[in-house]
Amino acid sequence: MHRRSLLRATLAASAFTPLAAPALRAQNFDHSLRIIVPNAPGGTSDILARLLAPELTRVLGQSVLVENRTGAAGNIGADAVAKSTPDGHTLLLMDVATLAINPALFPRLPFDVQRDLAPVTMMIYAPYLVATKNALPVKDAAGLAAYAKSHPGGVNVANAGVGSLTHLTSVEVGAHLGGDFTQVPYRGGAPALLAVASGEADMIINGATATQSYVVSGQMRGIAVSGEKRLPALPDVPTFSELGWPMADAGTWQGILVQGATPRPLVERLEREIRAVVAQPAFTARLAELGGEPRTDGPAAFHAWLARSTETYGRIVQKHNIRPE
């Protein structure tokens, strides 16, 4: 009886091993990875990529490097990933609202978002923070509305580039306030922030992840914040919803994608590891310090968000006749 039990166990193990080994190998990474950020260093995506890279290096057992590829409203970096080898070793980390906007903005994209890029997971959501230079004579949202109405086109708003969600949001807010802003595009959120901090531009609507520290330190003045709640670090700054402003759910939706034909086991491994990294108390606390919160709902939820947002933002692009430079 003992010999028969031992034989059954041996056969079961031998039957399992050939099936299990390929499944495990299918989720392995055998050389260094790249996280491509299609924005300038110092912006929200870049900050997150440099927080994530060492953690992924640790859990995947391979070096993870961050590479900034700027230009063409994020299309250059996204196209590099869309045309990369579909092996999960090249990741795209960006404000994915850009991917929802660009099909309406650029009718002839060099890649197809739905076909050539596969969502891995949303990473975080950070609300937009409206901030002005200290020299602008406004103290709050009411003051901004009054100033904008009395100075049509007189508020220069720095944005992260034509067609970015920061651009669309500021256009919608300006129209709502009755005093259209003058839009000043920059090559990403980081240089736009520096323009306001230096006094070159009057105002910015940008991710709290990168903007909050400027307001907390007194380099800018906080006016309003998108999202469902006020920022703990800026409790006196009201939300868009409280003010009755449009685009209440606008913000930095940072997500990670890979080449569209990447095998599902690799996508699942990346999603699992990234979710675990983001869930670490120290990582979550760091996100909170930056004004963001975890949003790791997986590929399906990410795909659904992208479909909804593509439709919504496409309507705004058409409504205001926004065209790339």
Look at residue 291 and tell me whether its pLDDT is greater than 60: yes
Claim to verify: residue 134 and residue 228 sit in the same structural domain: yes
Determine, yes or no, domain membership for 11: no
132 in Cβ contact with 202 (< 8 Å): yes
Are 56 and 117 found together in one domain?
Answer: yes
Confidence of residue 324 (pLDDT cuts 50, 70, 90): confident
Q: Are 121 and 92 in contact (CB under 8 A)?
A: no
How much is the pLDDT for 168?
Answer: 96
Q: Report how many domains make up the chain.
A: 2
- Contact between 142 and 136 under an 8 Å Cβ cutoff? The reply is no
- Residue predicted with more confidence, 88 or 187: 88
Q: What integer pLDDT is reported at residue 9 of this predicted model?
A: 46
Helix ranges restricted to H, 72-158? 75-82, 97-105, 113-116, 141-150
Question: Is 133 within 8 Å of 201 (Cβ atoms)?
Answer: yes
Q: What is the pLDDT of residue 23?
A: 46
Shared-domain flag, residues 229 and 137: yes
Kindly state the average pLDDT of the residues 231-247.
Answer: 96
Q: Assess whether 206 and 299 both reside in one domain.
A: no
**97 and 236 together in one domain:** no
Say whether both 197 and 304 belong to one domain: no
Residue numbers of the domain that contains 105: 32-125+252-319
What does the pLDDT look like over 127-183, one tens digit per residue?
A: 999 999 999 999 999 999 999 999 999 999 999 888 889 999 999 999 999 888 999
pLDDT at 218: 95
Instruction: pLDDT band for 4, please (50, 70, 90 cuts).
Output: low
pLDDT at 219 over 70: yes
Residue 9 in domain = no
Burial class (CB in 10 A: 0-12, 13-18, 19+), 11: exposed
Instruction: Return d(Cα 107, Cα 324) in angstroms, integer.
Output: 11
Last-in-domain residue among 243, 277, 306: 243
Q: Is 289 a residue whose pLDDT tops 60?
A: yes
* 278 and 296 share one domain: yes
**Does 1 map to a domain?**
no
Could you count the other beta carbons within 10 Å of the beta carbon of residue 137? Answer: 10
Angle between helices 189-197 and 208-216 (to 10 degrees): 20
Position 260 in a domain = yes
Take residue 256 and report the two structure tokens written for it. Answer: 């990670």
pLDDT at 214 over 50: yes
What CATH number did the domain enclosing 287 receive?
3.40.190.150
> Is the same domain home to 165 and 150?
yes
Q: Are residues 186 and 107 in the same domain?
A: no
Whether residue 16 is contained in a domain is answered as no
Q: Where does a domain end: 243, 270, 299? A: 243
Q: What is the pLDDT of residue 7?
A: 47
- 212 with 140, same domain: the answer is yes
* Tens digit of each residue's pLDDT (9 = 90 or more) over 13-51: 444 455 444 544 567 899 999 999 998 888 778 989 999
* Tally: H helices and E strands in the chain: 13, 10
Same domain for 229 and 267?
A: no
- 243, 277, 298 - which closes a domain: 243
In a domain, 6, yes or no: no
**In this structure, are 106 and 190 located in the same domain?**
no
Mean pLDDT for 196-219 is 93
Question: Would you say residue 24 lies in a domain?
Answer: no
pLDDT at residue 2 in the model: 53
The larger pLDDT score, comparing residue 200 to residue 161, is at: 200
Could you tell me the pLDDT band of residue 10, with boundaries at 50, 70 and 90?
A: very low
Share of the chain above pLDDT 90, in %: 74
Mean pLDDT of all residues in the chain?
90
Whether the per-residue pLDDT at 3 is higher than 60: the answer is no
Residue 261 CB: number of other CB atoms within 10 A?
A: 11
User: Is 269 among the domain residues?
Assistant: yes
Q: What pLDDT does residue 1 have?
A: 47
